[in-house]
Amino acid sequence: MAYASELSVITKAKDLCSYIMTITDKSPKRFRFTLVSRLQNYGLDIIEYLIKANEIYVPNVQSQEMADRVNLQRSAMSRLKLLGYISELAMKQQCILPKQYEQITKQVYDVQNLLGAWMNSDKKRYESRR
């Protein structure tokens, strides 16, 4: 359930993760400890990184907090790219259906765009504080 004050990137990431959990529940058992676990863990990692980044208070641009926030945002972006690749591999191995891969790709793209916008917004906001 999304909170009114929750960042849209976090809400979209939660939707993505929920979708992954739903579709991988029906994946062939032979993929349970490889592709399925990777898809699920990457989905959860993305949410974790985004929530942690959002919880960091940044007192100034040169602070360790700012560096931590940027690192968490970048980690989330990296996980999104990995999730995209693993979902493509999962489709090719018939672990998930092409329509499911298409849906994951669309949702990954949405989260990447929102995350990129958040990172750019932070950059502009903190540059104006210098």
Structure confidence by residue, pLDDT tens digits, 39-94: 999 999 999 999 999 999 887 777 888 899 999 999 999 999 999 999 999 999 99
Residue 34: both structure tokens together: 């490889």
pTM: 0.91
- Integer-rounded Cα Rg, in Å, for the chain is 16
The mean pLDDT value for 88-116 works out to 97
Q: How far apart are CA 58 and CA 67, in angstroms?
A: 9
Residue type, 104: I
| Residue ranges of domains in the chain | 8-127
Structure confidence by residue, pLDDT tens digits, 10-31: 999 999 999 999 999 989 999 9
Give CATH for domain 8-127: 1.20.1440.60
Residues 101 and 91: beta-carbon distance below 8 Å: yes
Intra-chain end-to-end CA distance of the chain, in Å: 37
Q: How far apart are CA 77 and CA 88, in angstroms?
A: 17
Residue 81: both structure tokens together: 């790219």
Q: How far apart are CA 21 and CA 43, in angstroms?
A: 9
Q: Considering only CA atoms, which of 124, 129, 115 is closest in space to residue 62?
A: 129
pLDDT on residue 41: 98
pLDDT on residue 2: 52
